[in-house]
């Protein structure tokens, strides 16, 4: 069984860290919720031919908390779980 990186909530519950791997521009509506909740500011707006979208600027700084993923209204943020022995 894989051993993934985990975190704990304020109540002590354990959860798997979710690291941002990209943004699906077909789903992104450019609302900016993900940008506002990102503690390390790894996301930013860019202008595309499809309008203003969010992009990942420094994936390596993702804390894995998953706030942006959980709050995205269109599930546009792609993520991955990292196994401890592969990081």
The number of distinct structural domains making up the chain is 1
> What are the tens digits of pLDDT across the range 15-37?
899 999 999 999 999 999 999 99
C-alpha angle 74/76/3, rounded to 5°?
A: 120
Let me know if residue 86 belongs to a domain: no
Let me know if residue 58 belongs to a domain: yes
Residue 1: the pLDDT is 63
> What are the tens digits of pLDDT across the range 32-61?
999 999 999 999 999 999 899 999 999 999
* Separation of alpha carbons 66 and 16, rounded Å: 9
Look up the domain containing 49 and give its range. 6-80
Let me know if residue 33 belongs to a domain: yes
- SS3 label, residue 20: strand
Let me know if residue 74 belongs to a domain: yes
CATH of the domain at 71: 3.30.70.20
Tokens 């990292």, residue? 82
Let me know if residue 54 belongs to a domain: yes
Let me know if residue 40 belongs to a domain: yes
């Amino acid at each position: 069984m894989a051993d993934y990186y985990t975190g704990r909530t304020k109540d002590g519950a354990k959860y798997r860290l979710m690291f941002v791997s990209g943004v699906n521009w077909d789903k992104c509506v450019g609302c900016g919720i993900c940008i506002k909740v990102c503690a390390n500011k790894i996301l930013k707006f860019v202008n595309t031919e499809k309008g203003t979208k969010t992009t990942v600027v420094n994936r390596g700084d993702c804390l894995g908390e998953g706030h942006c993923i959980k709050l995205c209204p269109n599930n546009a943020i792609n993520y991955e779980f990292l196994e401890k022995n592969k990081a």
